[in-house]
Amino acid sequence: MTLLKNYTLDELFVGQTATFSKTLTRADIVLFASCSGDANPVHLDEAYAATTAFGGPIGHGMWTGALVSAAIATRLPGPGSVYRSQTLTFKTPVKPGDEVTVHLTITGIREKVRVVEIACEALNQDGKVVARGVAEVIAPAEKLEIPAAVLPVVRIEE
């Protein structure tokens, strides 16, 4: 059983880092399209996507944004964190089979309001930046150590 642990405001410091990685699959693209309603053919239609500058299907930009959210929720500050804002600039498309690693670095802490500023950078397996931005998060109020949810296996029928 995997345990998720968080950091409360008094445990956080400027320069603190964490990472989170995931590999994009075709199933992830289909599931993200289904959940979000974003059926852009550049993500879903192999024949169309092959005619674009990308040469094939690419992942949704916000799939990468969701990885940033996962990194914040499970790594730094961790469970109990509340998103306030997020900026992201997408630099390089993510393609099926790419492993994306999100790097978080705390760049500022406003103690009175428990707000933590976090620089976010997502890199592919070749070290290329795929997205970069800044998140503002309200730090958890209480220390938590909880079992990670067991996520269901979802099968895609095409």
Where do the domains of the chain lie? 3-143
Contact 11, 140 (CB under 8 A): no
Question: Which CATH architecture best describes the domain 3-143?
Answer: Roll (3.10)
Q: How confident is the model at residue 1 (pLDDT cuts 50, 70, 90)?
A: confident
Contact 26, 60 (CB under 8 A): no
* Residue pointed to by tokens 């802490």: 109
Q: What is the pTM of this model?
A: 0.94
pLDDT surpasses 90 at 48 = yes
Q: Hey, what's the torsion of the CAs at 60, 66, 68, 70, to 10 degrees?
A: -150
The confidence score (pLDDT) of residue 158 equals 66
Q: How confident is the model at residue 109 (pLDDT cuts 50, 70, 90)?
A: very high
